[in-house]
Structure 1
């Protein structure tokens, strides 16, 4: 995406700074970059793809926003998204008409700053970045929707290595639960999760079981580590399982697998 932005600015004979407050130039750029975003979205296991640039059609407005394209799959119902329709969540509405796709029901022209703190931090970072400065965000409630999502983000760099935007993929909690169902291996209520630490608890995304079992909808857990196993508490429910810490770029997360504590203790009694 960094190369695509630089090449398109060169072809249009404008600088990145000249994009600001120039709707025609921003719309033209989105039209030319659509295929890059769309093609990579089709190739990756994800529920959406995007790019945001640190520029806007109108910087005199009270709320700062980022110009860019944000494409999503509409009506995900299975892990296979091959036949899913693509819709425009953020970007110029003319792009949707031009590419013959629908607008999302909560479409907006630009993405408001403040919606995703990690992306804001990357945008405001003046020092040079590198192509391996990628990260996975915590889970967010997507503005104006019922969806919870997390983003895999990579900086967009200019020719001098300075960050001018961010691009990446959306992984919605619904897509995560459908695409990463756990195998029961004889235990129908085992399930997995990808969690991120937030203060005194962990929260994230849950993958149900292929048997059809799905744990409580609230993906917030308080952990209590023991010698071999971990106790997970979510509201009034307790689970027993194992954890493994993972690092994705500049961010730390945790993979967990667990089953209801009552079922675990019953299994122990059966073995005894």
Structure 2
């Protein structure tokens, strides 16, 4: 390629046929391909008969590698950035490189393609006019629960990525922080042989994954329905339910009291929790 430029090239998230003709041309013609995992990208290039000059650019070396790539671009070379799957920078490395290249006054061009988050949203059946992408939740339970609590009142669809070995823990934490009746969608192994898109409540999907080990395999995109607009406590909660909550709050932490009161009365624990806070105030 004659023009010095950094191309941000989306690669397949599973089905290799999703690599666009334009992406193939760019990968075949650039001087350098900066890859998150050179071994993984080598297999992709070999499949299409592309001989590329690969360099590693990942979380651990991105800052130092960015300087080298900027120098090559300034020397007139063209570079393509790819991640292991999907669109680079979406929960993948690349931010520091793109920022450095733009600051150097060099052109950055997107070569669009697959993105797991957008693909999952398109088939989820959840509202998509507005949405929020969280990426990965904290790996440890306490941090994950804290972030879920912060997002629990978000009024629009929100999306997270999750790994197979943490999916069940995440659903348990969602049950506690969002409530078992919150509607969610689990999109698993998108575009691959065992692609599955499951929808239901948190409690329902917990049961499905508990009973079917195969549904716990693969990488997940988790989509959460936004919180329903809650009106004030007042008439929304019967006096009898408030009395039950009042007794429980005297003996138990607020979260536990609201969850037990919810099981007894059938009223959402989130609403009871807020009512309990109002009682204390």
TM > 0.5 between the two? no
Q: Which has the larger radius of gyration?
A: 2
Query: TM-score, normalising length from structure 2?
Result: 0.28
Q: Between the two structures, name the one with larger relative contact order (CA 8 Å, sep ≥ 6).
A: 2
User: What's the TM-score, normalizing by structure 1?
Assistant: 0.29
Structure with the bigger percentage of helix:
2
Greater percentage in strand: 1
